[in-house]
Chains A and B, each alone.
Chain A
């Protein structure tokens, strides 16, 4: 059999993950239920929060959804199966496929979270399309970082706790950045320094992707 091009290898891996996700629907719908119940609990506690609170709540929900959704992307693979992939593809393509898959997954969950928040917590947004864009971007950033962290945590014994310990300090700058950027969607006034913050966010994403591609092959070496 001829060796396939990297693109088709990555495509096959992403396809496999999506198919698996769809066949084991409990995980997918579990997360959706998680989003729903978290937002609903906030609704029961604070009814309709004011703008700043709404924004903060939204990003905290996003954070926890991301931890739960992305953490299992490596945990669901058994040791034997990982070894099998190792013999088939270059680790760089493997992590690239995981990154793409988690980005797709997180974009879906981000949109669902947004809809839930608007339904249950009211809609203080003045620029909904701008906010949707930021939410998708935020989903991308969060899932990129947590994919790499899940790969690290999968190597250690106490996975779930470790994700939180490693992830929360690392994600803080990105969350604060996202919070500041999305603040613009609540006011008609143009925020100063918005372009710079977008560049910074893009820079962080590029940094994480580059580090993941460089470092993951070392992580896989056993």
Chain B
């Protein structure tokens, strides 16, 4: 129980986010009506994705330094759960785009660069499947993972901020700062970040344990 308090916290936070996300009053701006609520489920996905992909790349570098296969298992589990959250973030974004931007895939820089970043990570998962030698797989995919992460940050975080975009926080639009976000949104959004990130880490630990069991004849201890 003492070790699992954060799982309970995650469930409680997510319950609060789901109930609160549909109940709190949000500012109705023009034709957007209640569409602003999608932010409670769209933004946290990216937070969870960044957290998991960071865990993944740290473990990959760690693997290269120590050659410990358990690090590789951690890196691959974190990357696959991270991609899952990335895809969910992309899908919730597409839902929003369909009803407010007038198209599922519009010519928005952030949407395009994110699609590229996700494709890079999917290539990482495919790359892993193409090896039969476990040690070689671990080494090569760790190197590719560093490449992927080195491109993820400029692609999704730096470039979209320098060009005009429909997303908030680009060159020509305000970001989510304290001043221009409604209080009710903040009340749900911050707990949502934490709740979904914890959920992601929870899924990652489960997957990590499962994969380690699958390899238990090779990895000792």
Chain B interfacial residues counted at CB < 8 A = 28
| Chain A, Cβ-Cβ closest to B130 | A156
| Chain B, Cβ-Cβ closest to A155 | B140
Residues of A within 8 A of B155 (CB): 173
Of B132, B143, B151, B159, which is within 8 A of A218 by CB? B143
Residues of A within 8 A of B163 (CB): 193
Tell whether A170 pairs with B151 under 8 Å between CB atoms, given A152-B144, A215-B143. yes
Q: In the complex, are the beta carbons of A211 and B119 less than 8 A apart?
A: no
Of B127, B142, B150, B159, which is within 8 A of A211 by CB? B150
Residues of A within 8 A of B116 (CB): 169, 172-173
* Complex Cα spacing A165 to B151, Å: 16
**Nearest CB of chain B from residue A191's CB, rounded to whole Å:** 13
User: Does any Cβ of A come within 8 Å of B146's Cβ?
Assistant: yes
User: Does any Cβ of B come within 8 Å of A76's Cβ?
Assistant: no
User: Does any Cβ of B come within 8 Å of A181's Cβ?
Assistant: no
Q: Is the interface of B mostly helix, strand, loop or mixed?
A: helix
* Complex Cα spacing A157 to B113, Å: 30
Of B130, B154, B159, which is within 8 A of A157 by CB? B130
| Chain A, Cβ-Cβ closest to B65 | A218
* Complex Cα spacing A32 to B70, Å: 47
The B75-115 residues at the A interface (CB cut-off 8 A) are 113
Residues of A within 8 A of B159 (CB): 173, 200
| Chain A, Cβ-Cβ closest to B147 | A211
Residues of A within 8 A of B120 (CB): 169-170
Q: In the complex, are the beta carbons of B146 and A162 less than 8 A apart?
A: no
**Nearest CB of chain A from residue B17's CB, rounded to whole Å:** 32
Tell whether A148 pairs with B147 under 8 Å between CB atoms, given A158-B130, A169-B120. yes
User: Does any Cβ of B come within 8 Å of A33's Cβ?
Assistant: no
* Complex Cα spacing A165 to B146, Å: 17
Q: In the complex, are the beta carbons of B139 and A207 less than 8 A apart?
A: no
**Nearest CB of chain B from residue A187's CB, rounded to whole Å:** 19
* Complex Cα spacing A203 to B142, Å: 22
**Nearest CB of chain A from residue B141's CB, rounded to whole Å:** 9
Q: In the complex, are the beta carbons of B151 and A215 less than 8 A apart?
A: no
| Chain B, Cβ-Cβ closest to A157 | B130
User: Does any Cβ of A come within 8 Å of B131's Cβ?
Assistant: yes
Q: In the complex, are the beta carbons of A169 and B147 less than 8 A apart?
A: no
User: Does any Cβ of B come within 8 Å of A221's Cβ?
Assistant: yes
Tell whether A169 pairs with B123 under 8 Å between CB atoms, given A157-B131, A211-B150, A218-B64. yes
Q: In the complex, are the beta carbons of A166 and B144 less than 8 A apart?
A: yes
User: Does any Cβ of A come within 8 Å of B182's Cβ?
Assistant: no
User: Does any Cβ of B come within 8 Å of A196's Cβ?
Assistant: yes
Residues of A within 8 A of B123 (CB): 165-166, 168-170
The B153-188 residues at the A interface (CB cut-off 8 A) are 154-155, 159, 162-163
* Complex Cα spacing A168 to B151, Å: 13
Q: In the complex, are the beta carbons of B139 and A218 less than 8 A apart?
A: yes
Residues of A within 8 A of B147 (CB): 148, 170, 211, 215
User: Does any Cβ of B come within 8 Å of A82's Cβ?
Assistant: no
1/0 per residue A156-193: CB within 8 Å of B?
11100010011011101100000000000000000001
Closest 4 pairs (CB-CB, A-B): A169-B119, A169-B120, A215-B143, A172-B116
For this complex, 11 residue pairs linking A to B, each with C-beta atoms less than 8 Å apart, are A152-B140, A156-B140, A157-B132, A166-B123, A172-B119, A173-B154, A196-B162, A215-B147, A218-B139, A219-B139, A221-B139
Q: A155-B140, A173-B159, A200-B159 are in contact. List 10 more A-B contacts (CB 8 A).
A: A158-B130, A166-B144, A169-B119, A169-B120, A203-B154, A207-B150, A211-B147, A218-B64, A218-B139, A218-B143
List the interface of chain A (C-beta within 8 A of B). Answer: 148, 152, 155-158, 162, 165-166, 168-170, 172-173, 193, 196, 200, 203-204, 207, 211, 215, 218-219, 221
List the interface of chain B (C-beta within 8 A of A). Answer: 64, 113, 116, 119-120, 122-123, 126-127, 130-132, 136, 139-140, 142-144, 146-148, 150-151, 154-155, 159, 162-163
